[in-house]
Amino acid sequence: MIKVGIVGGTGYTGVELLRIFASHPEASVQAVTSRKEDGMPVAEMYPSLRGRVDVAFSSPDKARLTDCDVVFFATPHGVAMAQAPELVAAGVKVIDLAADFRLQDVAAFEKWYKLPHSCTELLKEAAYGLPELNREEIRKARVVGNPGCYPTTMQLGFAPLLKAGVIDASHLIADCKSGVSGAGRKAELSLLFSEASDNFKAYGVSGHRHSPETIERLSKLTKDKVGLLFTPHLVPMIRGMHSTLYARLTKDIDNAALQALFEDAYKNEPFVDVMPFGSHPETRTTRASNMLRLAVHRPDNGDTVVVLVVQDNLVKGASGQAVQCMNLMFGLEETTGLLQVPVLP
């Protein structure tokens, strides 16, 4: 049984990890940290876990994280890199759901996250936690940087096209929307019900910190320079993410061959569903699951390919993907504990 520790268990990604581990047959949560809630049973804060999770929150100094086999950081940026060296030295694997180990470009990290990187040696060996594109590195890793939710959709949507060399890599467009839970569990004016409900807005138009992460990873799939125009939006729903991706075709390819690029790329991927050409995937078809669904379009049979991608931002976009990585790191079937059917309606 894999002994699991969770640092930062009071947020949305933390409780999502707890929900997944409540039915994971090969892992047991040993410690969940929270300074403020030290001693409070987890199920008291999250009644949905009553009868399934019997641990209590503990302050970090009491948690004995070095006795765990793997520790997940569901924390703000900067926390994992401060604690990872001690854990790794003790033989504990680390999976960070924040950005500390996503970007190999330290200067880019410090620019976008406004933090000095204090753990550059571990960063050099950290694996990027997107299994569909980086599976073998994850298997061998001691430290994994879990991808951002938006970058997951953009990479899996653009990857088959870039690998095949059929699009202009220098002018990729991503028009993306996320539910409010993507901003985390915090008291912030823009996230209040009366502010976010019955409303729709873009943000980060002049630049977003998920752009350098996505460009760095997409650049590994092509010899061409990658240019990405990424615009995120906040939509008035709790969970869900929809990314509409645009790219200009540079090769003569028919629609059947275009569809085949995606079907061949993901035919053995348990958590990527390539829908029939011209389909319209909906966010609710992935709700509370680790499934990502996508569909390919080609308006008017012209030179633009459009890829629609949906996922649950808290599962495949965060905690589910982290558990998928853990399964790989410990030699388990990748799908273990992650076969929940989406909740609909």
Annotated catalytic residues are 149
Backbone angles phi, psi at 4, to 5 degrees: -110, 135
DSSP 43-68: HHH-GGGTTT---BEE-TTTS-GGGS
Residue 138 tokens read as 């994850």
Nearest alpha carbon to residue 311 among 198, 150, 145: 150
Q: What share of the chain is helix, strand, coil (3-state, %, to 5)?
A: 35, 20, 40
User: DSSP state, 6?
Assistant: E
- The CA angle 115-219-156, to the nearest 5 degrees, is 95
Largest CA distance in the chain: 63
- Residues in contact with 121: Cβ distance below 8 Å, sequence separation at least 6, in sequence order: none
User: DSSP state, 71?
Assistant: E
- In three-state secondary structure terms, 242 is strand
Backbone angles phi, psi at 160, to 5 degrees: -60, -35
Residue 240, class by beta-carbon neighbours within 10 Å (0-12 exposed, 13-18 middle, 19+ buried)?
Answer: buried
Residue 342 tokens read as 């989406």
